[in-house]
Structure formats: C-alpha cells, structure tokens
Amino acid sequence: MPRLFVGIVPPTPVKAQLLSLMAGVPGARWQTEDQLHLTLRFIGDVEGPVLADIELALRDIRVAAFDLKLSGVGQFGDKRPHVIWAGLVESAPLHRLAGKVEQVLQRQGLPPETRKYTPHVTLARLKNPNRGRVFQYLSDHALFRSDPFGVTSFHLYESHLASAGAFNSKLDMIW
C-alpha cells in the first residue's frame, strides 16, 4: 500500500545551504540531500486505485509561480524534541497552494488534515536527544536565511520506511 505525501523540492543551491547546517547535535539522524523537501500535505497509506485518482486530481491545481525563502530553525516536541527543521518566511501563495492541495484531497474522500499547517523542511530526526545541545543548535542557527527560490511545481511522493529512515521517490511532477 503506497504511503504518500505532496511536497516541494528546494533547488540544489538551497539544499546545499541546508546540508551545511547538519552537524552539532549528537545522535541526530540528519536528512540526506534526496530527503529534503517542504511538505504541502501528508496523505498516508492509500489503496492502489486511490493513487491514480489522487494523481489526476492534483494535476488540476493551477497557481502562479511564487518565491520562497527559508528562515531560521526550530524543533517539534517542546519537552522532548524529536525533529529539527528549517522554517520559511511567511508566504501567502504557499498557504494558498497548500489549501488547494487540501481541498483536492478532501474531494477525493481523504479525511481533512487536523494539524495546523506549519511549513518547514525537516533537517534531522531525534531520539533521546540532549536538550541542551538541541537548544544550543537552535540558538547557533537562529539567523539562518536561504537565498530566495522560485516554486514552479510540486510533486507527489511515495515514502518508503526503512531502518535507516524514510526514502522518498517522486511519483509525479505536478503544475
């Protein structure tokens, strides 16, 4: 059963900027260059026939190209950090695109996303981290800013879970 999500791939120069941030937290499982993406919507496991319907429905989304810029770092898991991420400068076009993706997926019968959309690029996953080191990392990289980059497409991905972490394969480029 495919495990799906919809995301945006940063260009290679921005990925290089992100890769340069990946050190300084012992035990962190840093993302690889191929894993770096901005999730628009996690879909989860779907039955095979639903995949084709999702692909077709996503192809109907049309938005004008827009620019994004990464800004700062943060973490999920207040008392027990489990993810370190790079954030984004607020972007109305990004939120509109994520909203359109959400609408299309709901029309395909998927349940609505219940979590607030927090645009980010995951940098590392953490298991039993030293909180002091995590917060020092966040402080050290708080002023991180990427170069602006244009968004002209998004992708439907299939995610494969493995012991070394998830690896993602692009199923379809859309828009």
List the catalytic residues.
37, 120
What the block records as the tokens of 31 is 């993302």
CA 120/CA 167 separation, integer angstroms: 18
| Coil, helix or strand at residue 71 | strand
